[in-house]
Structure 1
Amino acid sequence: MNKRVIGIILIIVGVALAYWGYDLYESAGSQMTRAFDGDAPLEAWAAMIGGILLVLFGIGKVK
């Protein structure tokens, strides 16, 4: 595959993963956990950070 195509795929997957992490962070269960413990779920942070890293890596491939 072309580097540009791989970069575009990484960007799309990264955006979807970051959005999913944000959705996990704002879920009702997460809000209850944050209200009692003050801590956000690790899955939400991992998905958001992983998505951002994939987007940045994909941008590097596209250039």
Structure 2
Amino acid sequence: MNKIVGLALLVAGIILLYFGYTEYNSFASQATEMVKGSPTDNSIWLLVGGAIAAIIGIGALLKK
């Protein structure tokens, strides 16, 4: 059961990282970065959430 949850978290983390990366490279994020000096909050949250979910998923898969 834990392996299924770990795999689901890993897949969800990878998907969130993909959407965060595309959002980070979007025109709106680049325009915001030029004005404010930082990318949009949405892209940062997607990247952070994806990284955390992927790390937890990998940890659950590697746990005996």
Report the Cα distance in structure 2 between the residues aligned to 1:60 and 1:38, rounded to whole angstroms. Answer: 34
Q: How many residues align?
A: 62
Report the Cα distance in structure 1 between the residues aligned to 2:21 and 2:50, rounded to whole angstroms. Answer: 10
Q: Unpaired runs of 5+ in structure 2?
A: none
2:23 aligned residue: 24
4+ runs deviating over 4 angstroms: none
1:33 aligned residue: 32
Amino acid of the residue matched to residue 54 of structure 2? V
**How much is the aligned-residue C-alpha RMSD, in angstroms?**
0.9
**TM-score, structure 2 as length reference:** 0.89
Name the % identity.
29
